[in-house]
Amino acid sequence: MKKIILTILLTIPFVAFATTTDELVKIHALTTAEITALSAPVDGTLAFDSTIKKLYVYANGTWKPLIFAAKVIEKTGNYTLTQGDNEAIFTFNSSSAITLTIPSGFPVGYNVSVYQTGTGKVTVVGSGTSVKNRLSRFRTAGKDAGVGIVSTSIDVYHLTGDLRR
């Protein structure tokens, strides 16, 4: 992994000073489904996921985001997660109860963080997915509660954090 990053860092100055498109390095753009369907990628393979607009590198049997910048998204009402929300941080600021829905079809490892910043509690539900918590708690406990949501297998999500029944 260190060699891959070093190679990219050494390449960036040449790309940054390119004067024509002939001099640029092109990373193949594939949809999430196409990347997932690749039969035998080798370590170091790069792909740009055109579905969620992220650059990935294949290493140790898995696709990993190469560049990461957390995004904080404020919501004030019910919301259904999208594939592009992966690795996002959500703040829910409402005085009314909110439902956060997790639909099916996201990759294993998909994860988001949720924070209740208003007085309205956030309840996490699945739609075609299994949402699990050891104590069967799926609702934030109160103002400033935080919850982690992670896909641990296909269409199975685990919740952890400050939750209540």
Task: Indicate left, alpha or beta for 44 from its phi (over 0: left) and psi (-120 to 50: alpha).
Answer: left
- Beta strands 79-80 and 98-103: pairing type? parallel
24 and 59 housed in the same domain? yes
| pLDDT at residue number 10 | 47
Contact 153, 104 (CB under 8 A): no
pTM: 0.65
53 and 106 housed in the same domain? no
Q: By CB neighbour count within 10 A (0-12 exposed, 13-18 middle, 19+ buried), where does 90 fall? A: buried
| Closest residue by Cα to residue 5 from 42, 49, 55, 69 | 55
pLDDT in tens, 68-119: 677 899 999 999 999 989 999 999 999 999 999 999 999 999 999 999 999 9
- Beta strands 130-132 and 122-127: pairing type? unpaired
**pLDDT greater than 50 at residue 23:** yes
Total domain count for the chain?
Answer: 2
CATH number at residue 124: 2.60.120.640
| Closest residue by Cα to residue 126 from 87, 144, 99, 97 | 99
- Indicate the pLDDT class of residue 6, thresholds 50, 70 and 90: very low
- Its domain, for residue 96, covers 72-164
For residue 163, what are its two tokens? 């939750």
| Closest residue by Cα to residue 29 from 55, 59, 4 | 55
pLDDT in tens, 40-63: 899 999 999 998 888 999 988 888
- Mean pLDDT across the chain, nearest whole number? 88
55 and 84 housed in the same domain? no
79 and 156 housed in the same domain? yes
